[in-house]
Amino acid sequence: MAFEGLSDKLEAAFKKLRSKGSLAEADVREAMREVRLALLEADVNYKVAKEFTTTVTDRAIGAQVMESLTPAQMVIKIVNEELIALMGGTRSRLAIAPHPPTIVMMCGLQGSGKTTHSAKIALMLKNQGNRPLLVACDIYRPAAIQQLQVIGEKAGVPVFEMGTANPVAIAKEAIKLAKDQGYDYVFLDTAGRLHIDEELMAELKNIKSEVKPHEILLVVDAMTGQDAVNVATAFNDALGIDGIVLTKLDGDTRGGAALSARAVTGKPIKFVGTGEKLGDLDDFHPDRMASRILGMGDMLSLIEKAENSLDQKKALELQNKIRKNKFDLNDLYDQITQLRKMGSIKDTLSMLPGLGKKLDDVDIDERKFDRVQAVILSMTPKEREHPDIINPSRKRRIAAGCGQQVEDVNRVINQHKNMQKMFKQFSGKGGKNKFRKMAMGQQGNGNFM
């Protein structure tokens, strides 16, 4: 995951300060040397890393240590505030035209994920009640138009194309159509190149001058590290971008681009791609990202992810079934499905404050959930509703049906029974207090899985 190495290095740097009763200048400078090295290893621009640590050092040395905080906590507080400032301070939203449609010009190098993220942003807006239109302006890359059509169909967003006509003419016709048919956002998926060249920039400048987009978004690949910042700088100097979409932030990237791009270009990161699925896109929140880098979790993003992914009607139905002690295997299957809609289980849990570091050594095998669901699907509707009727012969049939062992079937049934017992305790008198005690116990012994 992005920033994993940086988080570990920062944690190690702060650990040395925790045992100290007061902050000495030498302690702060030593910690900031380690922080600077951590930032450089994370592929943060050298100038940005140096300015960042200088600012933190000056603040930490001149700060009055708050009575309620230890020296280490004071330094972490300052680092957190400066990280937020470094990444833009506040969330930057997509522009909205005074008279629809809002024209968004998507640009970037080939392979950065420009076409996919055009559809991702369009889908996000569609889910918010808007009517976006995707426009195929890349007439050079083989199958680029077809790719946009396929992704657009998956997202349920219409795609406008005119084959290999002039990109400017395509953009103009698309905007005219959008005005006539009431689309409120138009996304121009422009051509990319393997590298920046004059021909590419000339075409993009031509489109910009002719259609006058309200927003120019540059899509950059976070996996390219410092090169992503160089690309952003070049596009901004030539075109004047309004924002950045950072892709592949879920991959094995050091994350330096996210910390450097805003400082170097002066342009905000507006969206981050967090996976391969169309729904794997998040608004970029500097404060939440800073919290995650420092291992503080990200509860607000977790809540938003849950609200967008979980079925509220099913949640209420489940609540009623738990109260009546009628939690069956159908409910267990639904809960696993709902949980997995939120993305990687480990990534979801890492958003909980305090769990980030504890999860480092935990191997969460996502395939186990597949096996549990396969076992449940091999059962008859009656068996799912009444697991008590599942005798040895039924277990053998279920195991054969899902290609697993009888022991695996027993494990699923026992897990369900344990969950029933737990829900029965919490639904009774004093249930909330029991849950609170259990949660505290789990935190104390680390048995959170």
pLDDT for res 298: 45
95 in a structural domain: no
Domain co-membership, 291 together with 325: no
Domain co-membership, 281 together with 246: yes
Does position 67 have pLDDT exceeding 50, yes or no? no
96 in a structural domain: no
417 in a structural domain: yes
Domain co-membership, 329 together with 230: no
Question: How confident is the model over 228-251, as a mean pLDDT?
Answer: 83
pLDDT for res 441: 42
The pLDDT tens digits for 111-168 are 888 999 999 999 999 999 999 999 999 988 888 899 999 999 999 999 999 988 899 9
The pLDDT tens digits for 291-312 are 777 765 444 555 555 555 555 6
Q: Which of 20, 52, 86 is the last residue of a domain?
A: 86
Contact 209, 244 (CB under 8 A): no
Domain co-membership, 110 together with 202: yes
Q: Residue 309 is encoded by which pair of tokens? A: 């992914």
What CATH number is attached to the domain comprising 36? 1.20.120.140
Rounded Cα distance between 117 and 200, Å, is 20
Supply the range of the domain harboring residue 35: 4-86
Domain co-membership, 292 together with 310: no
What CATH number is attached to the domain comprising 232? 3.40.50.300
Rounded Cα distance between 302 and 347, Å, is 10
pTM above 0.75, yes or no: no
Does position 445 have pLDDT exceeding 50, yes or no? no
Does position 206 have pLDDT exceeding 70, yes or no? yes
CA angle 138, 93, 137 (to 5 degrees): 10
pLDDT for res 381: 92
Lowest mean pLDDT among 159-168, 344-353, 355-364, 407-416: 355-364
Domain co-membership, 131 together with 156: yes
Domain co-membership, 157 together with 71: no
Number of domains present in the structure of the chain: 3
Does position 197 have pLDDT exceeding 70, yes or no? yes
Which of 73, 109, 105, 253 has its CA nearest to residue 195? 109
Does position 447 have pLDDT exceeding 60, yes or no? no
Rounded Cα distance between 274 and 280, Å, is 5
pLDDT for res 207: 92
pLDDT for res 400: 93
Q: Which of 53, 86, 119 is the last residue of a domain?
A: 86
Domain co-membership, 170 together with 316: no
Question: How confident is the model over 79-92, as a mean pLDDT?
Answer: 85
Helices (H), 2-45: 4-15, 25-41
Lowest mean pLDDT among 7-11, 72-76, 441-445: 441-445
Q: Which of 86, 121, 154 is the last residue of a domain?
A: 86
pLDDT for res 159: 95
Domain co-membership, 271 together with 390: no
pLDDT for res 66: 43
Domain co-membership, 152 together with 36: no
Domain co-membership, 75 together with 117: no
Q: What's the mean per-residue pLDDT of the chain?
A: 79
